[in-house]
Each structure stands twice: as C-alpha cells, then as structure tokens.
C-alpha cells in the first residue's frame, strides 16, 4: 500500500510512519512543521519507501501517483499549541480536512480521520462510548480544538454519505510516549520534564480528575488496523485503565526517583474531569486492545526524555 500521512512529522504521525515502513508500506509524509519536527522522521530518510513533503493541508493537496490510503493527523494537539493559534486550529480542522478529503476521494483512497476524545467535552456519560454525543462548551477556550474535531467528523461523514468516499473515524484518547514535546502542556510529558529537572510537579485542580493513558506504540497499531478495514467508525482508541492525575504524578516521581514536590494550581476552564474510553468497538471490529502497561510505557518515556536532557546538556557544555 502507498499511504499519505498528514502531520506525519508529529508525535503520533512519526510513530505511525515508523510502523508502516516496518510493515512494508510506501509512505508519503506531509507536514508543515508547525508542531512536528524533522528530527522525528530523520531516521526514515534512508528508506526508499519514505518521502517527506513540507506543506500545509490548508493548501490544496496535489501529489502524483496512486494512493491506497490517507491518514489525516494534521492538527495542533497540545493545549498550549491550539490555544496559542485558535484560528489556525479551526481552519486546520475545517479547510484542512476538506482538502485532504478531496485528495483521498480523487485517488479513491481510504481516508482515516484522527479525531479526539475531546469531542466528548466534560462528559455526562462514563466511560465514554461512541454513541455518546458529548458535552462541549462551544464558546470556551478549548472549543477551538473540540469543535474543529467535531466539524471534521461531520465533514468526513458527509463525504461518505453524499460522495461515496471510503472513510473511517477514530477518536483518540490520551496518548503518551517518546517524541512528545516536554513543554506541550500534556500531563505525562509535563510531569516527566519537571521531575527530571527537580522542579515541582504542576497539578491542576485537586488532582482527582482522571485520565486514561495509551502508549503511542499501541495507538498506532490501532490506526493501522482501522486503515486495513472498511469500518466507518467512529471507534474509540485508548487505554480503559483510568488513573487520577495525582496517581500519574506519584508514578512519575517513583520511576524517576525524583524528590520533586507537588504544586497545586487552579483547574483551567473546561478542562475535563473524567476520561475513560469504552473500547468495545475497537476490540470487536479491529481486534485491538492496548498491550503496554502504564508503568512500562511511562518507564520507556522517562528513558527517552532523560536521553534528550542529557544530549541538551552535552551540547550546552560543548558550546
């Protein structure tokens, strides 16, 4: 298969490109590098089956040749990133998704939308199943991301029902692992960065809000499984093991051996207090479930961040 991955130089996208190349796919990675990085994909440059195009999905996507699949990951995902560029985020979810859908339709390629658990907002149903319509504040600060994903889902569905496009929708829950920016505001990377630098771990609210953490290697297996089916979705991808933010902080402190204290801060507006996916559909339709335990995954992620920190310090001493 020849597949286009938009946002392929980002955190999730680069891991998906790795998996596809390992499976024998031909991969074209398209990324504007607004949140992605060439560093994430530089090791793939030696593969004849991998190519990179620096471009934005806000422009018409025009790439020669046959394509069997398109995985649309292009979007800011870090709260810091999408709150800093709200209009760009909304345009990426709307105009960008339409451009990529048009490309997939023209190529008769299967299109996979990477949506988000954020479409559920502050949920009244727990755990969240795909039948739940969500509870999103459309004028809150986080709405630029939430509504961008909700619109992208509606647009993808319209292309399927009105144009006969082969589409699938995935709703991705909290994901973590190597290559996630240490300063992007998401809980695991933030805690690890603070612990390794002997800084207080910033806990918003009272720490009893929950997250369900899925290791990135597990997640991309689920994305690939969706690409290889004809299922329209939506399908949740995430780890149903639910932890409080305090439990995550304590695990990071334990695994890093840090003496960092916890520091409580007010909970940001519309920050969800509960997150846990119902993955019945993923198990039944994709034969997918997460394999990496949270302890093992956070341990691997700490090792990666620690190596990045050592490399940064080596460069600083050398200069």
User: Across the chain, what does the average pLDDT equal?
Assistant: 94
> Is residue 184's pLDDT more than 90?
no
What pLDDT sits at residue 313? 85
> Is residue 237's pLDDT more than 80?
yes
What is the CA angle 290-293-295, rounded to 5? 155
Two tokens, residue 261:
């204290």
What pLDDT sits at residue 155? 98
- pLDDT range class, residue 250, cuts 50, 70, 90: very high
**Dihedral (CA of 89, 36, 213, 182) sign:** negative
Higher pLDDT, 186 or 298: 298
Two tokens, residue 87:
């209009």
- Extents of the domains making up the chain: 2-176+214-240+276-291
Higher pLDDT, 314 or 41: 41
The DSSP symbol for 92 reads I
What pLDDT sits at residue 11? 96
What pLDDT sits at residue 261? 94
Name the class of domain 2-176+214-240+276-291.
alpha beta
What pLDDT sits at residue 318? 86
Q: Is 3 helix (H, G, I), strand (E, B) or coil?
A: strand
> Is residue 183's pLDDT more than 90?
no
pLDDT digits (tens, 9 = 90+) for 131-159: 999 999 999 988 999 999 999 999 999 99
Active-site amino acid positions: 145
Tracing tokens 């190597």 back to the chain, one arrives at 178
Q: Which percentage of the chain shows pLDDT scores above 70?
A: 100
Give CA–CA dist 279/235, Å, rounded: 8
pTM: 0.94
Residue 277 contacts residue 128 (beta carbons within 8 Å): yes
State the burial class of residue 315 (Cβ atoms within 10 Å of its Cβ: 0-12, 13-18, 19+): exposed
Within a 13 Å sphere around the CA of 26, how many CA atoms are in the beta-carbon half?
8
Cis peptide before 155 (omega within 30 of 0): no
- pLDDT range class, residue 65, cuts 50, 70, 90: very high
């Amino acid at each position: 298969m020849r597949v286009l991955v938009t946002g392929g130089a980002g955190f999730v996208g680069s891991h998906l490109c790795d998996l596809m190349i390992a499976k024998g796919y031909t991969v074209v990675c398209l990324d504007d590098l607004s949140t992605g990085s060439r560093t994430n994909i530089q090791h793939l440059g030696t593969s004849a089956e991998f190519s990179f195009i620096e471009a934005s999905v806000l422009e018409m996507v025009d790439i020669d040749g046959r394509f069997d699949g398109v995985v649309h990951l292009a979007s800011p995902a870090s709260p810091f990133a999408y709150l800093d560029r709200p209009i760009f985020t909304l345009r990426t979810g709307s105009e960008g998704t339409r451009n990529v859908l048009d490309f997939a339709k023209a190529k008769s390629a299967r299109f996979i939308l990477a949506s988000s658990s954020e479409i559920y907002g502050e949920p009244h149903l727990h755990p969240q199943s795909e039948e739940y319509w969500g509870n999103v504040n459309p004028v809150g600060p986080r709405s630029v991301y939430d509504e961008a994903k909700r619109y992208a889902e509606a647009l993808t569905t319209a292309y399927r029902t009105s144009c006969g496009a082969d589409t699938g929708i995935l709703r991705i829950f909290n994901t973590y692992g190597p290559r996630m920016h240490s300063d992007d505001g998401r809980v695991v990377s933030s805690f690890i960065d603070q612990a390794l630098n002997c800084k207080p771990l910033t806990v918003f609210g009272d720490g009893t809000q929950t997250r369900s953490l899925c290791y990135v290697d597990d997640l991309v297996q689920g994305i690939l499984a969706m690409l290889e089916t004809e299922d329209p979705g939506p399908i949740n991808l995430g780890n149903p093991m639910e932890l409080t933010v305090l439990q995550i902080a304590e695990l990071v402190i334990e695994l890093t051996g840090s003496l960092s204290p916890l520091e409580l801060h007010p909970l940001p507006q519309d920050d969800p207090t509960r997150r846990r996916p119902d993955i019945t559909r993923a198990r039944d339709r994709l034969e997918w479930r997460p394999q990496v335990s949270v302890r093992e995954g956070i341990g691997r992620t700490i090792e990666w961040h620690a190596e990045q920190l050592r490399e940064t310090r080596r460069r600083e001493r050398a200069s």
